[in-house]
Amino acid sequence: MLWLCAQQGVQHDYRSYLGQWRLLLDGANPWSTDNNYGPLHTVVGFLLPFGQLAPKFLLVGALLIANAALVFSLLRERGVGPILIIYLLAVPTNVLVVGVGIIYGLNDALVASLLVAAVLFRLRDNFLATGTLIGLAALVKYYPLLLLPFFALNGNRLHWSVIASGLAVFCVGMAAASAIWGEEVFNGILHGVTRKTKLLSFLGPLQEIVGDVKIVRWLKEYNAYLVICGVGVAFLCTWRAGRNWLEAAVLGYLVMLTLYKVGNQQFYLPWLLMVAALPLVNKQSADRMGIIFLAAVVLLSLYQFGYEFASSGYDNSSWVRTYGGLIAFAVSVSSIAACVIDYWRARPRGRGRISR
C-alpha cells in the first residue's frame, strides 16, 4: 500500500492540500483560500519540506497502522472465522478504502485512523483517551463531534468524560488556531453549511426529479438542522433501546452521512472501518448489524471502482452522477430500517430494552 501511495503521487483533493500547506509554510493564512478543514489537517503541512508526498505518507501510514491494530484485535477477539467477511469486504477488498485512503491519500484517512483508535480505547474502557481521539479527529474534519454521545453510551447511562474530553480537545485546538491565524479558521464550519450537493447526496437527484421546488430548497438551506435532528433521533432511539455504543455509533454515523447534502464518497471511509470493527463487540446483534450493512459496503466499493477505473470521475454526462445519490440513499435507508426491524424482532417480549 505504501508503494501504491508513492506510485500514484498527487491526485484529487491532495492537490488543494498542497496549496494550503504552502501558504502555511510561507507564513500566510492557510485558510485564506479553499481550506475548509480543521487545524490538525493544516499542521500536517509542516512535513512538506521533506517532499510533497511526505504528508501523504503520514496520512496513509496512520491508516495502515490503525488497520493493523484493528486486524490484531479482531483476530484476538474472534479468531479466524466467517464473521471476518465483514472486515474483508469493508477494508482490504474495498475499492473506496484503497482509492480514497491510499491512492488519493485524503485526510479522511487520518480521521478514520483516529476513530479506529477511539474504538479500540473505548473497548478497553479508557474514556478520556476515547474522547481525546474523537476531539483530534474533529480537528481534521468537524463532523466526528456528533459521534461523541454515541461513544459515551453505556446502557442507559452516559460516560460524560468521553464527551467532556472530546469537547475540551476540540475547543482548545480551535482556540489555539484562532489565536494564531484569526477567525478564518472557522471557515470550514461555515462552508459545510453552505456547500452544494455532491455525488452521493439524495438532494441532487431529488431536485432533478421534482424540480427546484420549495421543499428541496428548504432541505438544502437548512440541511445542517436536518443532519443534527437525524443524528439526535438516532442517538435517542439507540439509547432507549439499550444498544451497544459501537452499534449506536455506526448507525448514527450512517444516518449523518445519509442526510448530509455534501455526499462525497470519501466521507464514508471512517464509517467503513467502524463497520469492520463491529465483530469486536462479540454480540449477535452487532454481527447482524455488520451483515446488514454489507449491502452499503459493497455498493460503496462498486461506486468507487466506477469512479476510479470505469469513467472519468462520473462526468456530467453520466447517469450515475445524476441519480447515484438516490441509489445510495435507498440502500442506506433500507439498511437503517433493517437494523431497526432486527432490534424489534430480537427484543424480548414484555420488556422495553434488549437484554444485555
* DSSP per residue, 185-251: GGHHHHHHHHPPP-TT-SHHHHHHHH-S-HHHHHHHHTHHHHHHHHHHHHHHHHHHHT--HHHHHHH
Burial of 125 (0-12, 13-18, 19+ CB in 10 A): exposed
Coil, strand or helix at 154: strand
Instruction: Look at residue 48 in the predicted model and tell me its pLDDT.
Output: 96
Tens of pLDDT, residue by residue over 189-198, are: 776 666 778 8
What local confidence, expressed as pLDDT, does residue 262 receive?
Answer: 85
Mean pLDDT throughout 212-225? 87
Indicate if the pLDDT at residue 285 is higher than 80: yes
Look up residue 348 and give its DSSP letter: P
CA distance 286 to 269: 19
Q: Is the pLDDT of residue 122 over 50?
A: yes
- What would the pLDDT profile of 55-103 be if each residue is shown by its tens digit? 999 999 999 999 999 999 999 999 999 999 999 999 999 999 999 999 9
C-beta atoms surrounding 113 within 10 Å: 28
Question: Where are the alpha helices (H) located in 79-159, listed in sequence order?
Answer: 85-90, 95-96, 108-123, 127-138, 148-151
pLDDT digits (tens, 9 = 90+) for 170-181: 999 999 999 998
pLDDT recorded at residue 152? 96
Residue 263: per-residue pLDDT: 85
Distance (Å, whole) CA 4 – CA 319: 30
Listed in sequence order, the residues at least 6 apart from 285 whose beta carbon sits closer than 8 Å to its beta carbon are 243, 244, 247, 342, 343, 346, 354
The conformation of residue 158, written as its DSSP 8-state character, comes to E
Position 114: which residue type?
Answer: L
More confident residue, 195 or 160: 160
Predicted local distance difference test score (pLDDT) of residue 356:
35
pLDDT score of 349: 55
Tell me the pLDDT band of 288, cut-offs 50, 70 and 90.
very high
Its pTM stands at 0.93
Quick one: pLDDT at residue 296?
96
Which residues touch 144 (CB under 8 Å, ≥6 apart)? 111, 114, 115, 134, 137, 138, 270
Confidence of residue 350 (pLDDT cuts 50, 70, 90): very low
- Residue 353 pLDDT: 43
**Residues of the chain above pLDDT 70, percent:** 96
Q: What's the pLDDT score for residue 321?
A: 81
Q: SS3 of 94, please?
A: coil
